[in-house]
């Protein structure tokens, strides 16, 4: 790990974040304040662009307002509602089972612990952590491709997998930053810090970032 001023990086991101597009989980939370909808939106967002997921969520939540609505709708109709998110057929099946499990195992209430959330179909550590941080404001680090890429690019961690990144961040990232870390890095990764040819010239972290692995930038 390089000498990285994560406090300064976080402060800059917190200042700049309002200028950027809000990640879909935060958008759903702001609009609904409903952990169930945040969980569903986060699950749908996997491997799908946020702008696509946002449109789908807007359409979906006009009809699906409660886990009971998910239980009632047939899989084919649900697939049509969530198209064109990636893997929409699989996600529709997961959502149907998720609704049943919420009723049978959690009394219809979205759990607020990682170990319980990951028991739900289609919910991995990233989805669980994003749901905890976004819907419940509990300290959790959701590590997706953006958080993994940027944490390494900053020089803050040196890891090969998202799981390794999560474990390392849990070890070194001050807990006061956990809730918003995913939100800020996803917003930066979507807008500026792309996988290839990142827009370093317009990045507010240009002088703070070690640019690990960057061979070409704009």
- Compute the mean pLDDT over every residue in the chain, rounded to the nearest whole number: 96
What average pLDDT does the segment 7-11 reach? 98
| Cβ-proximal residues to 13 (8 Å cutoff; 6+ apart), any chain | 184, 185, 188, 204, 205
Pairwise CA distance, residues 36 & 173, whole Å: 28
* Tokens at 99, concatenated: 């609704």
Pairwise CA distance, residues 120 & 59, whole Å: 23
What average pLDDT does the segment 147-159 reach? 98
The answer on pLDDT for 152 being more than 90 is: yes
pLDDT of 21:
86
Return residue ranges of the chain for CATH 1.10.1670.10: 6-19+140-202
Pairwise CA distance, residues 129 & 133, whole Å: 6
pLDDT of 1:
61
pLDDT of 149:
98
The answer on pLDDT for 154 being more than 80 is: yes
The answer on pLDDT for 119 being more than 90 is: yes
pLDDT of 61:
97
CATH of domain 6-19+140-202: 1.10.1670.10
Pairwise CA distance, residues 158 & 139, whole Å: 22
pTM above 0.75, yes or no: yes
Q: How confident is the model over 58-92, as pLDDT tens digits?
A: 999 999 999 999 999 999 999 999 999 999 999 99
Among 214, 212, 215, 209, smallest CA distance to 9 is for: 209
Percent of all residues in the chain with a pLDDT value above 90, rounded to a whole number: 97
Return residue ranges of the chain for CATH 1.10.340.30: 24-135
CATH of domain 24-135: 1.10.340.30
What average pLDDT does the segment 183-202 reach? 96
The dihedral through the CA atoms of 143, 35, 135, 58 has a sign that is positive
C-beta separation of 54 from 24 below 8 A: yes
14 CB-side CA count, 13 A: 12
SS3 (DSSP) at 63: coil
Q: How confident is the model over 14-64, as pLDDT tens digits?
A: 999 999 988 999 999 999 999 999 999 999 999 999 999 999 999 999 999
């Amino acid at each position: 790990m390089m000498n990285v001023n994560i406090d300064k990086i976080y402060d800059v991101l917190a200042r700049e974040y309002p200028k950027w597009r809000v990640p879909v989980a935060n958008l759903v939370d702001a609009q609904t304040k409903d952990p169930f909808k945040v969980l569903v939106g986060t699950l749908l967002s996997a491997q799908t662009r946020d702008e696509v997921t946002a449109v789908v969520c807007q359409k979906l939540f006009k009809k699906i307002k409660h886990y009971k609505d998910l239980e009632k709708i047939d899989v084919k109709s649900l697939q049509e509602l969530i198209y064109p998110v990636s893997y929409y057929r699989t996600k529709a099946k997961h959502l149907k089972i998720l609704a049943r499990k919420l009723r049978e195992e959690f009394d219809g209430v979205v759990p607020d612990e990682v170990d319980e959330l990951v028991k739900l179909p289609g919910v991995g550590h990233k989805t669980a952590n994003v749901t905890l941080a976004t819907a419940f404001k509990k300290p959790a680090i959701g590590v997706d491709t953006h958080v993994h890429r940027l944490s390494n690019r900053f020089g803050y961690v040196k890891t090969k997998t998202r799981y390794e990144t999560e474990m390392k961040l849990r070890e070194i990232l001050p807990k006061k930053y956990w809730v918003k870390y995913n939100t800020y890095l996803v917003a930066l990764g979507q807008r500026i810090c792309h996988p290839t040819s990142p827009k370093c010239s317009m990045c507010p972290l240009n002088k703070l970032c070690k640019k690990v692995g960057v061979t070409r930038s704009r």
